[in-house]
Amino acid sequence: MTCFVEMIFPEQSNHYGTLFGGTALSLMGKAAFVAATRHARRAVVMASSDKIDFHVPIKVGQIAELKARVVRSGRSSMTVEVEVTAETLLSGDRRLAMSGRFEMVAVDESGRPVPFARAEESV
């Protein structure tokens, strides 16, 4: 599993004062990339994203905690689930803000799919 946090600042927000959707997707893609790379120990690329749900907005001043884990591993591809939790630092209030699935593919130097030996245990 991969886990990291991001403090949400005004430059990451939309005109509502909440995390801009494009920035949220970028953070989720980064988490999926790290989890997939750790799992395959190969270069990986994103092939698709599936059903990204925005449950509650993340406000400026909150933190976004991202957790990504490989839930399916094939010959050259894997599925990574990413969950994003919004946390208000002073109160400790936490809510599931976003979730989604990403299909990641191991590739060679030419960008073509390549089989990978599954890591014994995902980090």
118 lies in a domain?
A: no
116 lies in a domain?
A: no
Q: What is the mean pLDDT of the chain?
A: 95
pLDDT digits (tens, 9 = 90+) for 3-36: 999 999 999 999 999 999 999 999 999 999 999 9
Range of the domain at 73: 2-106
pLDDT digits (tens, 9 = 90+) for 47-64: 999 899 999 999 999 999
Q: Determine the pLDDT at residue 123.
A: 42
Question: For the domain that residue 59 is a member of, what is the CATH number?
Answer: 3.10.129.10
117 lies in a domain?
A: no
Average pLDDT over residues 68-85: 98
CA distance 14 to 23: 10
114 lies in a domain?
A: no
Strand order in the sheet with 77-87: 2-7, 63-73, 77-87, 94-106, 44-54
Structural domain total, the chain: 1
